[in-house]
Structure 1
Amino acid sequence: MRKAYVDDSLLSRRRTVEAAGLVSRTLGLILTAVYMSGVTDLAPAVLSSDMTTACRLGIVLMVAADLLALLARRRPDGSRYQIWSALQVLLDTTTIIAFVVVSERDFEQTTWPLLGLSISIAAIRHQLLGALLTFVATSAAFIVFVPDSPDTAFVLGTSAMTAIIAGSQSTAFARQLTALQETRRALQHQATHDGLTGLPNRAHLDEYAGRLTGGALGVLLLDLNGFKQVNDTYGHAAGDRLLHEVGVRLTAAAGPGVTAGRLGGDEFLVLLPGAGAGAVAATCERIRDAVHRPADLGDGIVVTVGVSIGVALRPAGGEAGLDALTAEADAAMYREKQTRPAA
């Protein structure tokens, strides 16, 4: 199952929801134990067998829900998070329905407002749809198991309003959070990628290379031959289209596991983690062939450019950083420009 993108703000919200669930259920377990003990005025002097069963069932279900909450809090970005969350809503709703039904039927206690709690829990976790489904479940249970209650109409009306208000607010918040996530991802992409070609920029390449410390690394520095003539002859718009096309070809020619980026102007940088001299040489030839193919820039403009490539290799265990390797590749590229005919 493909895991959806989850950013830090959503992870924090999910952990908070799970922590709140753990605390509230722990309080519920304590109150249930006190209720069953009969040492306070919270419960009738003698509990019916149905209420005893409901309390015991509630304890089991709350413990099970807490275990799910612990799993969900540990893995808020996991592919099963929504399933764990939905199961918690089911267990909490079943617990509350059992307690409300038995207490309303067997004792003179007004406990139906607790149904709104289960609706609110569902709204927080699963927005309007979750709130409405829980409203239907709690209302149906109340009608079926407490058929003679004089409060039925009031219970249904109050629960419906709770579902609509809480569910709508939760849905609106979720949409706002999604919009903020998309904006954050867009800003992050802008900060780490070149706006013209879509390739990683120098900052992204630096960060990526920093994670490859100590491993073998091939670095290719590319400079287009003939790009200035395209700009001078056909204008900067045509030059921009050429750079974009080169970026597309470069990514395809570099192959999987290779990161290609743009430094600026008509300079590109390619990082080949774990590559040796043979793999680097093969990649260089693929790149030369790809770049040298005629490029259709639109408006009847077709151009052919070449590329000069400088190579730097770091063996496994080497300490050279990206700056040093780029400088070495730049010197090699300059030497190639002096000895290899430009396109």
Structure 2
Amino acid sequence: MRKVTGWRAVPPVDDSLRSRRRAVEAAQLVSRTLGLVLTAIYMAGVTDLAPRVLSDDMMLVCQLGLGLMTASNLVGLLARRRAGSRWYPLLSAVQVLFDTIMIIAFVAVSERDFEQTTWPLLGLSISIAAIRHQLVGALLTFAATSVAFLVLVPGSPDTAFVLGISAMTAIIAGSQSTAFARQLTTLQETRLALQHQATHDGLTGLPNRAHLDAYAARLTGGALGVLLLDLNGFKQVNDTYGHAAGDRLLYEVGTRISDAAGPGVTVGRLGGDEFLVLMPGAGTGAVAAVSERIRDAVRRPAGLGDGIRVTVGVSIGVALRPAGGTAGLDALTAEADAAMYREKQARPAA
């Protein structure tokens, strides 16, 4: 059977992915800050890290690097704050772009103007892209750095070696990052499935009592309408046509109640043929209108397969909590249960 879609919960934030993203941003902020310090030292020429005299092009590259690293850190701070946002992938891609441009420029000028072996830094940009965007990101960055190296450092004796090492870095780092991302996704899906099973009814897909209790606890102090529903004639359907037919009827009724209740209303199943409807902020008029819609929806004939059609009714007990009231869900449900029982007792006479 398909799941009832009349009630939809907002999916929880993927805490594991958000935590991983924040860790990546923190690590990059630290590494770029270190890069800023080392670049300033490189420009000053106060250590053996750089030639005593830098070319004009290298000074320009260093200045570009300072600007790009600073900009990347600003984007990284925003990305860390919005690790769960739909804009995070774009913010991450911008950082990869800035880092790659900076590294390509530094490698190209240093390999051309000085006797320094700096091409291994290309592997750093590939690894960064792999961490952030898995295999696709690693391969795209590999392609960009390889083309840039061929164009900006023509005739280098290390070209074949550079391309080979970069390709291996992209494949290994990208594949591992992709596998890790898939593992996290699988674990998250499993967690969500278990959470859904723990908070929803397995037959109708509606919230169960535990979920309703947690939801009602968040409404403390506000106006709340509670409807307790019990089907009339359900036992006869079960006894006559079997439990499978009864299950199909419960599923159909759950769908009808959810549709009739409308948006902003939470419908759950307590067990058996009892359903609970929670209406935040509702008053007498709104509760009465929803009750009538539910009655009309439930008593329509329902097909159970093999040409079987049955009609059941519903008894509804209502409890209202005014704004500022202190009654909890248990007390309101007990009040609604008493009202429902009185309606059931009066139904034969009616």
- Give the TM-score normalised by structure 1: 0.98
Q: Which of 26, 50, 53 is equivalent to 2:60?
A: 53
Runs (4 or more) in structure 1 with deviation over 6 Å come to: none
What pairs with 1:1-343 in structure 2 (closer than 5 Å)?
6-341=13-348
* 3-state SS in 2 of match to 1:203: helix
* 3-state SS in 2 of match to 1:108: coil
In structure 1, what is the Cα distance between the partners aligned to 2:111 and 2:348? 92
Deviations 1:133-157 (A, max 9, x none): 1001101111101002100000000
Deviations 1:293-342 (A, max 9, x none): 01101012111111110000000111111011001000101111111239
- RMSD (CA atoms): 1.3
Deviation at 1:184, TM superposition (A): 1.2
- Judged with a 3 Å threshold, the aligned counterparts in structure 2 of structure 1 residues 6 and 166 are, in CA distance, closer, same or farther, namely farther
In structure 2, what is the Cα distance between the partners aligned to 1:125 and 1:332? 58
Pick which of 175-184 and 259-268 moved more: 175-184
Q: Structure 2 counterpart of 1:11, which letter?
A: R
| Long gaps (5+) in structure 1 | none
Aligned 8 A contact 1:220 1:271 in 2: yes
Percent of residue pairs bearing the same amino acid type: 82
In structure 1, what is the Cα distance between the partners aligned to 2:28 and 2:11? 23
In structure 2, what is the Cα distance between the partners aligned to 1:277 and 1:200? 24
Q: Structure 2 counterpart of 1:61, which letter?
A: L
In structure 2, what is the Cα distance between the partners aligned to 1:342 and 1:190? 41
In structure 2, what is the Cα distance between the partners aligned to 1:4 and 1:286? 29
- Give the TM-score normalised by structure 2: 0.96
